[in-house]
A and B are shown apart, each in its own frame.
Chain A
Amino acid sequence: MKAVARLVWSYFTGTPVLRACTIGGLVLMIVDFYILMTQPHSGEKLWLAVMGLSFFFIGSALMPVMFGRLARSHAIGVLPGGRLKLLISMFVTILVVAIPVGALAPASFISGNSSVPEIMKDPRARDYVLQLTGITFTWVVLFASWMYLAMWFLTSQRNMAGLFKGLLVITLVIFAPAREVRDLTVTLSWNLQQIAVLWTVFGAGFLLWPRFKVARARRNRGLSNSLGRALAGKTMGREFDVLLGTSNPWLLTAALLLPLILATRFVGEFPAVWLFFLTIFSVVTGALSGQAGERSRALWLRGDWSRASLFAAVERSIWRQNFHVLGALMLFNIGIGVYAHFSATLLMTGVPLLVLGTLLSTYLGLMITRGLRWLEILSGIGVMLLLMFLAVFVAREDVELVTVFSLEFGLAGIAIALRFIARRRWTQIDWMMCRPDRALTARGA
């Protein structure tokens, strides 16, 4: 159990940046809790807690990556109950993240409606508060489980398959738990059932994975090899792209479209949510361009380029891929828009959003030339929040075209600034700092 505790501790305190996030988030939440409990009708102060929770969640963002690395390491198979302890540590982390929310929900209810002593006297109110706590807590556990799972797929697999799985999970999350909250169909027992099923399936799969790998290794490799070659795409003539990871835009497009189609099928009625979704998916390009720094290491010694001209070549390669994705997304956007009878205004303002999303995330990713640090994380989060806010804003009924377009121009300006920064940073790119494990090896993970 000590091993589990140590694991959980290291998830939250992985690097100095994340440690600061964890502590900052915790402080904000405690402060808000105190305010809610002692001052009546202070429900508006809940935003403090939301911010705190976001930071707290970010503080544990390293968890899926560390989880992935440990799961694949040799040591975990050798240590007694290694995989089980790892699994438990992930569950405990989720519980820890859920506790603040579980405490804040009833606190905000109490603050908005009465006070603690009053609640304690009334049995019905007490029951209600308890139920609220239970439902909120279990819902957050469920939601967090899905989100971490998605992050694990996205970060530790580092290829198309992982991307695909991660996006699929995010789609399902928006579908099931988020939708229930929106429709107010959440119940305690249903939450518990979902948690039970999810964790049983995931837990069983995780623990049995080693045996599955052995069994799979014995099977005929022929089919998987030819499939792999097909997925890897044409390599002749596109070797630069192959090394950079941008050689198969069709696969990326397919990986994005499939979850998108699923999402549209289930949440297609609400333009706001739908646009929000679309924006998120155009952000995927950022994940890929974020890897460009690392992957270009293999290109440094293999061509007559300076760091500056390498940036230009990398940028070209990424945009060649982006065009495919953007093209597909835009067609999809317009197709769905016509089918769902979106207004022409919505279409006109929505398409630039896609372009903006791709632009912004591409250059945010290209800014990562010395590993992920404060600047990159904060600017990434800031810009993405702006984009999502714009997406929701655009879908409003009463929106003014002028406002929307000026906001979009503003964001385009930010994108150009980001490109300038990225290009300058590339002239100083330091490949020894780009290593993905740098943050983790520093902690001896």
Chain B
Amino acid sequence: MTDATVEASNLSKSFGDKQVLQDMSFGVSPGDVIGVLGKNGAGKTTLLELMLGFTPPSAGAVRVFGHDSYSLPGDIKVRVGFVPQQDELLDQLTVGDQLRVIASFYPHWDSALIDRLCGEWGVNVHARIKSMSVGERQKLSILLAFGHKPELLILDEPVASLDPIARRQFLEQLLTISADGERSIVFSSHIVSDIERLANRIWILKEGRLDWQGDLDSLKESIVRLHIRSTAPELPAFKIPGVLNLRRDGAFATAVVRDWTPEAQETLEKNASVQIEVETLGLEEIFVELHR
């Protein structure tokens, strides 16, 4: 239990009378790559910033490497990296200066890595931040969190402004980082295809609660669309466990269900004398269905 990188129990957060997060419990283990999905306003940023102690929880607790987030000690902070949604770059500095300033706070900074990535990602070290485009700023923000080789990397919509090539380069770098299986990454994104490539676990945030928390593979196997056909002219009445969305049309029906198992299929086919064809869904489709 204490090996967990991050642990949260019954975490809640409200701003004034507005409840943003309710009763969340989750964990991050070393080697996890967690994709956080949620509609705008579902509380993703609040969750990520809570995890790092930028704001106190209203109830419950969250611990990083065994320490309470709100009062993280220095030796834990150097093991953590964060890319916020709104960048914290200083307009008057050049890229090089900004990197140097941030690097000075860390005893171990891999300048060789950063230099190489600046070259590969096309970040001009001599450019003034004021004159950079949104995409370039985002790349720099990401680099600022890589340099000290954190064990826990938290990214809040890190690629919102990057073009597909830049995104691909970023994903490749994240893969390299997580390759040793000891580092954990938690990132929120709207770009579901990126999450599908990279994440092994998914958190789906809906209205302040963790609607789904588990392996991406299990998610895809568990939420499916059923195409139901009756041998009789009219589809008999039946009940499907865990149904999210059901549409009937004469002798046919389509249902999206969660927690699907092959046994459930057998049972249903026998009890309701129907034939079921299972269609698996991609992550984006699953997300949409969960929010219908």
In the docked arrangement, what's the CA distance between A360 and B126, Å?
Answer: 40
Interface residue count on the A side (C-beta < 8 Å) = 30
Q: Are A431 and B92 in contact (CB under 8 A)?
A: no
CB of B80 closer than 8 Å to a CB of A: yes
In the docked arrangement, what's the CA distance between A300 and B74, Å?
Answer: 10
- In the complex, which of the residues B15, B53, B91, B93 contacts A300, with contact meaning CB atoms closer than 8 Å? B53
**How many Å from the CB of A316 to the closest CB on chain B?**
17
CB of A409 closer than 8 Å to a CB of B: no
**Interface bits A223-234 vs B (CB < 8 Å: 1, else 0):** 011001101100
- In the complex, which of the residues A224, A236, A433 contacts B55, with contact meaning CB atoms closer than 8 Å? A433
CB of B97 closer than 8 Å to a CB of A: yes
**Which of A224, A225, A236, A298 has the most C-beta atoms of chain B within 10 angstroms of its own C-beta?**
A298
- In the complex, which of the residues A229, A298, A304, A433 contacts B15, with contact meaning CB atoms closer than 8 Å? A433
CB of B128 closer than 8 Å to a CB of A: yes
- The residues of B that contact A305 with a CB separation of less than 8 Å are 74
Q: Are B15 and A159 in contact (CB under 8 A)?
A: no
Q: Are A297 and B88 in contact (CB under 8 A)?
A: yes
**Interface bits B240-272 vs A (CB < 8 Å: 1, else 0):** 000000000000000000000000000000000
Q: Are A221 and B131 in contact (CB under 8 A)?
A: yes
**How many Å from the CB of B61 to the closest CB on chain A?**
17
Name which residue of chain A comes closest to B13, CB basis. A432
CB of A343 closer than 8 Å to a CB of B: no
Q: Are B56 and A428 in contact (CB under 8 A)?
A: yes
- The residues of B that contact A224 with a CB separation of less than 8 Å are 128
In the docked arrangement, what's the CA distance between A304 and B77, Å?
Answer: 7
CB of A1 closer than 8 Å to a CB of B: no
Q: With A159-B92, A242-B90 as known contacts, state yes or no: A304 contacts B75, CB within 8 Å.
A: yes
Within 8 A of B (CB), among A290-326: 297-298, 300-307
Q: With A221-B131, A430-B55 as known contacts, state yes or no: A243 contacts B74, CB within 8 Å.
A: no
**How many Å from the CB of B90 to the closest CB on chain A?**
7
Report the tally of A-B residue pairs with Cβ distances under 8 A: 74
CB of B52 closer than 8 Å to a CB of A: yes
CB of A239 closer than 8 Å to a CB of B: yes
- Segment with Cβ contacts to A, from B30-38, B99-107, B169-177, B225-233: B99-107
Q: Are B128 and A243 in contact (CB under 8 A)?
A: no
Within 8 A of B (CB), among A413-445: 428, 430-433, 435
In the docked arrangement, what's the CA distance between A432 and B54, Å?
Answer: 7
CB of A189 closer than 8 Å to a CB of B: no
**How many Å from the CB of B17 to the closest CB on chain A?**
13
In the docked arrangement, what's the CA distance between A224 and B91, Å?
Answer: 13
Q: Are B101 and A242 in contact (CB under 8 A)?
A: yes
**How many Å from the CB of A369 to the closest CB on chain B?**
12
- In the complex, which of the residues A217, A232, A428, A430 contacts B93, with contact meaning CB atoms closer than 8 Å? A232
Q: Are B93 and A235 in contact (CB under 8 A)?
A: yes
Q: With A225-B94, A297-B88, A298-B88 as known contacts, state yes or no: A239 contacts B101, CB within 8 Å.
A: yes
CB of B164 closer than 8 Å to a CB of A: no
Name which residue of chain B comes closest to A437, CB basis. B86
In the docked arrangement, what's the CA distance between A300 and B128, Å?
Answer: 25
CB of B203 closer than 8 Å to a CB of A: no
Q: Are B91 and A159 in contact (CB under 8 A)?
A: yes
Q: Are B52 and A225 in contact (CB under 8 A)?
A: no
- The residues of A that contact B97 with a CB separation of less than 8 Å are 229, 232, 235
- The residues of A that contact B15 with a CB separation of less than 8 Å are 432-433
**How many Å from the CB of A412 to the closest CB on chain B?**
33
In the docked arrangement, what's the CA distance between A302 and B90, Å?
Answer: 16
Q: Are A302 and B105 in contact (CB under 8 A)?
A: yes
In the docked arrangement, what's the CA distance between A245 and B221, Å?
Answer: 52
In the docked arrangement, what's the CA distance between A307 and B52, Å?
Answer: 13
In the docked arrangement, what's the CA distance between A231 and B100, Å?
Answer: 17
Q: Are A300 and B101 in contact (CB under 8 A)?
A: no
**How many Å from the CB of A302 to the closest CB on chain B?**
4
In the docked arrangement, what's the CA distance between A236 and B71, Å?
Answer: 28
In the docked arrangement, what's the CA distance between A135 and B75, Å?
Answer: 66
Within 8 A of B (CB), among A201-231: 217, 221, 224-225, 228-229, 231
- In the complex, which of the residues B101, B105, B128 contacts A235, with contact meaning CB atoms closer than 8 Å? B101
CB of B115 closer than 8 Å to a CB of A: no
**How many Å from the CB of A110 to the closest CB on chain B?**
47
CB of B46 closer than 8 Å to a CB of A: yes
Name which residue of chain B comes closest to A304, CB basis. B74
**Which of B71, B73, B90 has the most C-beta atoms of chain A within 10 angstroms of its own C-beta?**
B90
Binding site for A on B (CB under 8 A): 15, 46, 49, 52-56, 71-75, 77, 80, 82, 86, 88, 90-94, 97, 100-102, 104-106, 126, 128, 130-131
- Which 5 A-B pairs rank lowest in CB-CB distance, beginning with the nearest? A304-B74, A302-B105, A432-B55, A431-B54, A298-B88
8 contacts between A and B (CB under 8 A): A232-B93, A235-B93, A301-B52, A302-B102, A304-B77, A306-B71, A430-B56, A433-B55
* Other A-B pairs beyond A300-B53, A301-B80, 20, CB < 8 Å: A159-B91, A159-B92, A228-B92, A229-B97, A231-B92, A232-B92, A235-B97, A239-B105, A242-B101, A243-B90, A298-B88, A302-B105, A302-B106, A304-B74, A305-B74, A431-B49, A431-B54, A431-B55, A432-B15, A433-B15
Binding site for B on A (CB under 8 A): 159, 217, 221, 224-225, 228-229, 231-232, 235-236, 239, 242-243, 297-298, 300-307, 428, 430-433, 435
